[in-house]
Amino acid sequence: MQIVTETIIQALTEIVKNVPLGTNIALIKLLWMVLQGNLLSSRGSIFGGLKLSGYGAEESRRSWVSLRYGKWASQDLLTNWVDYVKKEGKWQEKEHGGYRAVAVDLVAFWRPRLKGWLGKHFNSIAQRALPAVIMGIAVNVGQIGRQRVPLLKTV
């Protein structure tokens, strides 16, 4: 478990390598919270998720401030992530006759009380369209070993 944790921390450090000191540490804590599943467990609450991750009130406040006011851009973090994955040399992009595979889909976040962002998206469990924040994603299709692994293309 220790080796896995160290590998994850190394990857997170690479992702935030161009972010100013202080903000980078706070973003690592936020990303760690997401990877642990604590943002889901807290139903999207940043402070609740950070608390579930074991961070105190002051650390949580600094992370939230970095998220809200820090000097960083998600596209830069994504670029650093893609560079890191490719540098590791294990991820192989799928090619078919010289064409690279790209998958595109819609992702819905079910937040019925969020004002101004909502659309409707079909929920297969409810068997009807429900209020949701809808985002489109595009990924490069590849694999590590025999496991198919998508690599987020854009934010």
Q: Same structural domain for residues 151 and 81? A: no
- One domain, residues 39 and 100: no
What is the residue-averaged pLDDT of the chain?
86
Same domain, 126 and 116: yes
Tokens 């429900």, located at residue: 130
79 in the same domain as 50: yes
Q: How many domains does the chain have?
A: 2
Write out pLDDT tens, residues 28-61.
999 888 888 888 888 778 888 999 898 989 899 8
Q: Are residues 96 and 136 in the same domain?
A: yes
Looking at this protein, which amino acid is placed at residue 21?
L
Give the type of residue at 41: S
Contact 122, 138 (CB under 8 A): no
Q: Is the pTM of this model over 0.85?
A: no
Residues 66 and 43 in one domain: yes
In terms of residues, how long is the chain? 155
Judge if 76 and 39 occupy the same domain.
Answer: yes
The DSSP annotation for 76-132 comes to HHHHHHHHHHHHHT-EEE-EETTEEPEEEEEEEE--TT--SS-EEEEETTTTEEEEE
User: What is the tens place of the pLDDT at every residue in 54-91?
Assistant: 898 989 989 999 988 988 888 889 899 889 988 988 88
Residue 120 structure tokens:
């409707």
Same domain, 35 and 110: no
Residues 83 and 98 grouped into a single domain: no
Whether residue 11 is predicted with pLDDT greater than 60 in this model: the reply is: yes
User: Distance between CA atoms of 80 and 69, rounded to whole angstroms?
Assistant: 20
Phi, psi of 132 (to 5 degrees): -160, 155
Residue appearing with tokens 């960083």: 72
Residues 75 and 11 in one domain: yes
- What domain range includes position 97? 91-155
Q: Indicate if 1 and 70 belong to the same structural domain.
A: yes
**What pLDDT is recorded for position 95?**
86
